């Protein structure tokens, strides 16, 4: 649980997971910009994520939002070596094109919500968490909204 902020080791841990284990994250140039008790914010440059019209490719936006939501779900589950997290459902609404850096901000659950999620995970061996992610454009406008449902399972010991 994060009474104040997530453990300082998480940014390094997530970056290693993505850097070593998810080639697409490396191809996209994903970087963690912010991680605290409120949000996990990821950014990626437009270059490798552009489409033929010069704006961000919809698949890149879905991928960035998925990584952000998945990161939040993994942190909410607690020990990354003791649980697996997979995505079950994804919904994304695209409002306006993103013509610069891609920014995805996944909302961190409240401490109470994290506690409830972990209680179900320990009690049943699996638990669901819904994570909203916002893609922002210039002047902090909302360019797209993503909602991911993630399922955590206790890993085989």
Cβ-Cβ contacts under 8 Å for 132 (sequence gap 6 or more): 106, 107, 145, 146, 147
SS3 of residue 30 by DSSP: coil
Q: How far is the CB of 37 from its own copies (least distance, A)?
A: 25
Interaction between residue 20 and its own copies (CB under 8 A) = yes
SS3 of residue 26 by DSSP: helix
Determine contact, residues 144/98, Cβ cutoff 8 Å.
Answer: yes
At CA 151, angle to CA 82 and CA 77, rounded to 5? 40
Q: Which is nearer to its own copies, 25 or 35 (CB)?
A: 25
Q: How far apart are CA 24 and CA 7, in angstroms?
A: 26
Interaction between residue 24 and its own copies (CB under 8 A) = yes
Among the listed residues 13, 33, 43, 97, the single contact to its own copies using CB under 8 A: 97
**x-marked contacts with its own copies along 54-93 as a string, rule CB under 8 A:** ---xxxx-xxx-xx--x-------------x-xxxxxxxx
Q: Which is nearer to its own copies, 11 or 58 (CB)?
A: 58
Query: Which residues are at the interface with its own copies (CB under 8 A)?
Result: 17-18, 20-25, 27-28, 47-53, 57-60, 62-64, 66-67, 70, 84, 86-94, 97
């Amino acid at each position: 649980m994060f009474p104040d902020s997530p453990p300082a080791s998480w940014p390094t841990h997530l970056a290693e997971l993505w850097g070593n284990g998810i080639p697409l994250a490396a191809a996209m140039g994903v970087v963690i910009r912010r991680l605290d008790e409120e949000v996990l914010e990821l950014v990626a440059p437009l270059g490798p994520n552009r489409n033929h019209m010069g704006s961000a490719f919809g698949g890149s936006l879905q991928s960035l939002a998925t990584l952000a939501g998945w990161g939040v779900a993994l942190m909410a589950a607690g020990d990354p070596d003791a649980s697996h997290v997979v995505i079950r459902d994804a919904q994304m609404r695209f409002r306006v094109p993103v013509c610069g850096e891609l920014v995805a901000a996944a909302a961190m659950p409240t401490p109470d919500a994290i506690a409830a999620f972990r209680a179900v995970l320990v009690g049943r061996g699996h638990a669901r968490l819904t994570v909203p992610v916002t893609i922002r454009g210039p002047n902090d406008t909302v360019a797209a909204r993503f909602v991911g449902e993630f399922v955590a399972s206790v890993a085989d010991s």
